Amino acid sequence: MAAPDNIIIGSHVWVEDPEVAWIDGEVFQISGDEVHVKTTNGKTVVANMSKTFPKDTEAPPGGVDDMTKLSYLHEPGVLQNLATRYELNEIYTYTGNILIAVNPFQRLPHLYDSHMMEQYKGAAFGELSPHVFAVADAAYRAMMNEGKSNSILVSGESGAGKTETTKMLMRYLAFLGGRSGVEGRTVEQQVLESNPVLEAFGNAKTVRNNNSSRFGKFVEIQFDKSGRISGAAIRTYLLERSRVCQISDPERNYHCFYLLCAAPPEDIERYKLGSPKTFHYLNQSNCYELDGVNDAHEYLATRRAMDIVGISDQEQEAIFRVVAAILHLGNITFAKGKEIDSSVIKDEKSRFHLNMTAELLRCNTQSLEDVLIKRVMVTPEEVITRTLDPENASAGRDALAKTIYSRLFDWLVEKINISIGQDANSNSIIGVLDIYGFESFKCNSFEQFCINFTNEKLQQHFNQHVFKMEQEEYTKEEINWSYIEFVDNQDVLDLIEKKPGGIIALLDEACMFPKSTHETFAQKLYQTFKSHKRFIKPKLSRTDFTILHYAGEVPYQANQFLDKNKDYVVAEHQALLTASECPFVASLFPPLPVESSKSSKFSSIGSRFKLQLQALMETLSATEPHYIRCVKPNHVLKPAIFENSNVIQQLRCGGVLEAIRISCAGYPTRRTFYDFLNRFGLLAPEVLEGNYDDKVACQMILDKRGLKGHQIGKTKVFLRAGQMAELDARRAEVLGNAARIIQRKIRTYIARKEFIAVREAAIKLQSYLRGNMARKVYEELRWQVGALKIQKNFRQYTVRKSYLTLRTSAIKLQTGLRAMTARNEFRFRKQTKAAIIIQAHWRCYQASLYYRSLQKAIIVTQCGWRCRVARRELRKLKMAARETGALKEAKDKLEKRVEELTWRLQFEKRLRTDLEESKAQEIAKLQDLLQAMQLQVEEANSMVINEREAARKAIEEAPPVTKETPVIVKDTERINSLTSEVEKLKALLQAEKQIAEEAKQAYTLVQAKNGELVNKLEDAEKRADQLQDSVQRLEEKLSNLESENQVLRQQALAISPTGKALAARPKTTIIQRTPENGSVLNGEIKKTLASPQVPETEEKPHRSLNEKQQENQDLLIKCISQDLGFSGGKPVAACLIYKCLLHWRSFEFERTGIFDRVIQTITTAIEVPDNNDVLSYWLSNSSTLLLLLQHTLKASGAAGLTPQRRRTTSASLFGRMSQGLRGSSQGAGFSFLNGRLLGGFEDPRQVEAKYPALLFKQQLTAFLEKIYGLIRDNLKKEIAPVLGQCIQAPRNSRASLVKGRSQANAVAQQALIAHWQSIVKSLDNYLKILRANYVPAFLVRQLFNQTFSFINVQLFNSLLLRRECCSFSNGEYVKAGLAELEQWCHEATEEFAGPAWDELKHIRQAVGFLVIHQKPKKTLKEITNDLCPVLSMQQLYRISTMYWDDKYGTHTVSSDVIARMRVMMTEESNNAVSSSFLLDDDSSIPFSLDDISKSMQEVEVPEIDPPPLIRGNSGFTFLLQHSE
């Protein structure tokens, strides 16, 4: 990473900073090798030129997903890229094929759901965004394709997320190759379920992590030949045994000790435990609890995990008994004995713990005490027993505790491996190595030495792998290269492990000598390695030493090296625990073989660990490695905090920077020809203008700049370290000159613009002044004329005002008098009208009050009575509901109700007829009587008139008075009699009038009642119609469902051994009530013979008839096997099948084979799933035939009662309902209802369908869905390969880089939409085929709706997973392609395209967001409500963070909007809202038979000409008759 020599003033560079590791700034002065930099935080820094690195000012604002794409591959560039991506929650980044994972310290569930797994399944490495799934998928694909085992090495320091990463790898490998294991658990589940157990016994709190793994773990996942997981094994390395006895503040011991102390009270009492503060092995640190962790809950969780992995309750009890014994063992203290160098149990408290230890380990108390304070030495002559001083006794006690715990941990691992199971026949594995990272603390002991030795080994393997990858890259590009020197750490490995002079060998040698101490061991190291460049002796210490590792210097304290390296079990300890009465404890210490017990060969932890590590490296060398480097961004373990110094140290420890150094030793900068020309083409414009090949053009640019040492590959330009900076410096110089020219032109333009503006302002000022003077003269003239007009108008005004005042006064006086008179008149009339209104309202109120009270009383009475009746009915219904036949009674009541309504309807009709007849007779009588009375009245009137005339004449002709007296008396009597008779006639007339009035009133009442009855009759008819429709629909639905049940039962019976027996039963017929057979009980069924005996004379004609029918069927099948085409927009084959089946009455047969033959014909026709023309032809035929059957077939009641389906009882509510309604259709009431009410509305074309017809209909429906799915999937397969190219704009040709070349731009634009036009072409082809075959428009709409939904899902998911797609220019490209699809929808019309355009709403809104300008000014409300209302917050956040503008350099939304999005996403994740940002493709059938039926309401069978094959056949003459 040497700094370039061409840093100039104005260059943007990185310089070292003690706080943030690296800080960027701008060079403002260069003095020799010193560079003066103005940093972004305002400080001025003076740095050496060799420690200054150039900054890429054109780097994407969101960073790059692969750091090999960085223009400057150096330490600050890598750090800045990781920090930028981490800020956007992009925690994964590639460095070549190495994955760097930065721990987010928060849940990101959208990154690990099943949708994300589906996206990475089978995707090429590097095609999608960096992810741990991509590494796992690459390992799995390499294993399957090459047949070679693979390994994934997960490393990092404590707290970096290694364990979680391993879990994610296991989940994804289980997703790819999972299979069911024993007892319902899969192998991968068992491996994952073992984690809690291993974490409880192998993890502890350290300074850097609350759950640090204190052992290495290598999980071998075994696969069979088909790629399915067949077994697994867990290998562990270097458990930190010393932690059992020694811990430092603020760390903790292993979790299991604290979990046991927080166990339930009965366990505490059983093991005589207490607070962790009371145990020596736990109270060496003041940390007893972890934040956010409940040890009691974790204890129960660990017990459950033990159950899952197959550890029995007895074994669990023994395990925790051993753990408790270790705690009690640590509390045993010793005091000096009476003899020299002897010891005894210190006090009663220690005695109690000794007794408890012996009780828990089930061994003799005295033997345990002797083992702790005495040692037995066996010599050839005698057996010597010697005592131990308190210090040695404590050391022996600790050694015993460490040995027991180590054996217990090994037993757990072995038990888990046995539970998981291994595949001995497996040849392929994927190993996942979860191992501790490089460690460097204040105090580094033997454990850190072994851990760092492991990391040195892995780093060497890593360096070799990276170097190999570099060589493969160079070979692939066919460039000339020589061996590249890189820093190797073999000298450090030799320092540690070389025999006989390595540190481990010297340590083993020191351990074999009893008198060796850590001081003598350290002195031996100083003497042996005094001249080694990797070994440093501190000046102020006599036992410490420092090793210069690849990640830096690490000082080690040799004080405990000898004790921790010893790996032998004291013979007394072995004998004591082997003799334990507890089988579990005895199994941990099996008896040693005689040879091994007598052998004196020395064994050490270091040597054993070296052998384990050697075996691990051999395993890794036999596999193809993949690397994941986990990074902890901060020490406070909180999200959104990125500590540069901490991360840089981890990158160094993880070997990432070492890999970068290897890359820098060769060609660290690699650019494709397009990227190189796009960035540096301006250095040689003549090259771009010429018609050169890209490779030649790049070479010409490099030659022009005079660069040496570069290489030109097949697709890339390879530059040495520093050459990129040199080219950038020349490019900045060219851009600076261009900027100065632009500035000069702009300043000229601005100066001329200002001069023209000043000149125009002067002209305008002169014009204004002259105009102002003219306006003043004009104003004076106006004042003079105005004064004359004012005088004239004022005089006129005064005279007119006096006249108007006088006139107004007179008018007002007249108006007032007239108004007063009018108001008096109005007041009187108003009072009169008000009085009338008050009287009217008062009378109305009294009448209304009386009416309402009467109505209320009636309603209350009716409600009370109805409630009483309803309660009585409810009680009856409740009682009936408890019985088995409750629904049947309800059905019977419904029938009776229908009958009653029908009877009442007829009765009302008869009553109305009788009433009208009686009314007519009564009216006729009254009219006759009235006429008679009128005649009598007229006669009486005429008599009175005659009498009066006679009297008048008599008076006139009368003699004188003396003579007239008697006549007058006589006439007077006669007049009186006539008058009385007239009075009688008047009374009689009045009576007749009264009678006529009463009759008229009665007629009015009768007419009113008649109107009410008519209304009731109409309501009854409406209700009867509604009941008729409801019952008919219910009957049809139940019949259809029963028919489907019959199909399923008969299919089951067909494969059952009792099918033949059931089929052999006699068939039954249903006899419904008719006017001829009288009343038959509901559901009564009379059995008749299925096949009545036929006389022999009829058998032969019947056989010949069957043969003729068979010939006709053969001819029909042969005919429809051909392409018959279409007639009148309808498929001929479907219409032909329908007419023949209808004419032959095949739908009404109990048994027929014609349906199976038609289905077989369709099956044969669609055997080639890629022939869309044939599929469309049969899709049209099947849909048309199915619609005809839907409108023709009617499920019969008899079809529901075949012998196979009869049941005495029904177990479910639906079964009882269907049986009741099925029986009711056969009963008297329902047959009457069908005959009387439904007969007039029944479609004469409907046919009572039997079971075979209904089965045929179901099979046809299945074939319709299958054919539709085949056509849809064919269309998806055709456009799927093109969609991957449609989401990302193709690179522009070099000609388009030169401005002003219209022809080249037009060609490039045409090339941009070529892929979209191929999709449009495919859609056109399919639409043409579907329309040519007259496929119903409804099915065509559904097909294109699902296709556009598929396009939306694929494009949108690819957009979210590939950062290079989230650019401005790419948004314009996709938008142009979507415009092509919109144009196609418009041309296809609404009839066939339907709402397909709306299915693209996600990609449309996402692309619309990409191409809008001024994104930083948009608020979150505007984005979510106006721009992208359909997109979720996860989707918006991902698009916003991945966006980059490669065209205009604009930025994404503001940081405030990003922060609010992040807060809202956190809230959604807390509320358990689905956080997946990917879409799912719906491949279901989006319609049902009812949907198709509704879309085509009118189904008509067109008259078709019979095909030539059957036209001359006598069996098909009915087709000719129809056509004629």
Which of 455, 428, 373, 399 is closest to 141 using CA atoms? 428
Return the higher-pLDDT residue of 984 and 102.
Answer: 102
Q: Please tell me the distance from the alpha carbon of residue 509 to that of residue 503, in angstroms, as a whole number.
A: 10
Q: Please tell me the distance from the alpha carbon of residue 506 to that of residue 503, in angstroms, as a whole number.
A: 5
| Three-state secondary structure call for residue 1389 | helix
Do residues 340 and 291 lie in contact, with contact meaning Cβ atoms separated by under 8 Å?
Answer: no
161-164: Cβ within 8 A, 24+ apart: 161/101, 161/103, 161/630, 161/632, 162/213, 162/434, 162/435, 162/437, 162/630, 163/195, 163/199, 163/211, 163/213, 163/434
| Three-state secondary structure call for residue 548 | strand
Ramachandran area for residue 146 (φ above 0: left; ψ -120 to 50: alpha; else beta): alpha
- What letter represents residue 1249's amino acid? A
Q: Please tell me the distance from the alpha carbon of residue 579 to that of residue 407, in angstroms, as a whole number.
A: 16
Please tell me which of 81-90, 603-612, 1210-1219, 1285-1294 the model is most confident about, judged by mean pLDDT: 81-90
Q: How many CA atoms, within 13 angstroms, populate the side-chain half-sphere of residue 319?
A: 26
Do residues 477 and 714 lie in contact, with contact meaning Cβ atoms separated by under 8 Å?
Answer: yes
| Local confidence band at 374 (pLDDT 50, 70, 90 cut-offs) | confident
1442-1463 per-position pLDDT tens digit: 887 777 777 888 888 888 888 8
End-to-end C-alpha distance for the chain, whole angstroms: 95
The residues with which 712 forms a beta bridge, in sequence order, are: 717
- In DSSP notation, 1338-1360 reads HHHHHHHHHHHHHHHHHHHHHHH
Mean pLDDT of 1004-1024: 79
Do residues 1210 and 1219 lie in contact, with contact meaning Cβ atoms separated by under 8 Å?
Answer: yes
Q: Please tell me the distance from the alpha carbon of residue 8 to that of residue 2, in angstroms, as a whole number.
A: 16
Residue 1398 token pair: 């709306």
1402-1417 per-position pLDDT tens digit: 999 999 988 888 888 8
Q: Please tell me the distance from the alpha carbon of residue 97 to that of residue 1516, in angstroms, as a whole number.
A: 74
**Is a pLDDT exceeding 70 seen at residue 1469?**
no
Do residues 905 and 1017 lie in contact, with contact meaning Cβ atoms separated by under 8 Å?
Answer: yes
Q: Is the peptide bond before 1486 cis (omega within 30 degrees of 0)?
A: no
1035-1088 per-position pLDDT tens digit: 666 666 655 555 555 554 444 433 333 333 333 333 333 333 333 333 333 333
Helices (H), 479-633: 490-497, 503-512, 518-528, 561-565, 571-578, 583-588, 594-598, 605-621
Residue 62 token pair: 């969101």
756-768 per-position pLDDT tens digit: 999 999 999 999 9
Quote the distance between the C-alpha of residue 526 and its chain's center.
64
| Local confidence band at 785 (pLDDT 50, 70, 90 cut-offs) | very high
Of 520-529, 970-979, 1429-1438, least confident by mean pLDDT is: 970-979
Mean pLDDT of 222-236: 86
Return the higher-pLDDT residue of 1405 and 1191.
Answer: 1405
Quote the distance between the C-alpha of residue 1337 and its chain's center.
31
**Is a pLDDT exceeding 60 seen at residue 1098?**
no
Which of 660, 653, 634 is closest to 77 using CA atoms? 660
**Is a pLDDT exceeding 60 seen at residue 708?**
yes
| Three-state secondary structure call for residue 194 | coil
Please tell me which of 512-521, 940-949, 1346-1355, 1491-1500 the model is most confident about, judged by mean pLDDT: 1346-1355
Residue 195 token pair: 């984690």
Helices (H), 35-160: 75-87, 114-120, 132-146
Which of 562, 561, 529, 560 is closest to 546 using CA atoms? 529
**Is a pLDDT exceeding 80 seen at residue 325?**
yes
| Local confidence band at 869 (pLDDT 50, 70, 90 cut-offs) | very high
| Local confidence band at 865 (pLDDT 50, 70, 90 cut-offs) | very high
| Three-state secondary structure call for residue 1317 | helix
- Structure confidence at residue 1080 (pLDDT): 34
Query: Catalytic residue positions?
Result: 158-159, 163, 209, 212-213, 437, 439
CB within 8 Å of 351: residues ≥ 6 apart: 345
CB within 8 Å of 583: residues ≥ 6 apart: none
- Structure confidence at residue 1070 (pLDDT): 30
**pTM here?**
0.60
DSSP 718: E
DSSP 123: P
876: exposed, middle or buried (C-beta count within 10 Å: 0-12, 13-18, 19+)?
exposed
Q: Please tell me the distance from the alpha carbon of residue 209 to that of residue 157, in angstroms, as a whole number.
A: 9
Of 76-85, 344-353, 1205-1214, least confident by mean pLDDT is: 1205-1214
Percent helix, strand, coil in the chain, to 5, is 65, 10, 25
Residue 990 token pair: 């009045």
The residues with which 549 forms a beta bridge, in sequence order, are: 552
Please tell me which of 446-450, 535-539, 541-545, 744-748 the model is most confident about, judged by mean pLDDT: 744-748
Query: What is the H or E stretch that residue 1086 is in?
Result: strand 1085-1087
| Local confidence band at 666 (pLDDT 50, 70, 90 cut-offs) | low
880-928 per-position pLDDT tens digit: 777 766 667 667 778 888 888 888 788 888 888 888 888 888 788 888 8
Which of 1279, 1415, 1436 is closest to 1355 using CA atoms? 1279
What ranges make up the beta strands (E) of 300-427? 334-336, 343-345, 374-378, 383-387
Which of 1494, 1485, 1416 is closest to 1450 using CA atoms? 1416
| Residue whose tokens read 């000014």 | 1417
In angstroms, what is the C-alpha Rg of the chain? 53
Mean pLDDT of 1080-1106: 40
**Average pLDDT value for the chain:** 79
H, E, C per residue of 960-985: CHHHHHHHHHHHHHHHHHHHHHHHHH
Q: Please tell me the distance from the alpha carbon of residue 1458 to that of residue 1452, in angstroms, as a whole number.
A: 9
Percent of the chain with pLDDT over 70: 83
**Is a pLDDT exceeding 80 seen at residue 1196?**
no
Helical axes 694-705 vs 673-680, angle rounded to 10°: 50
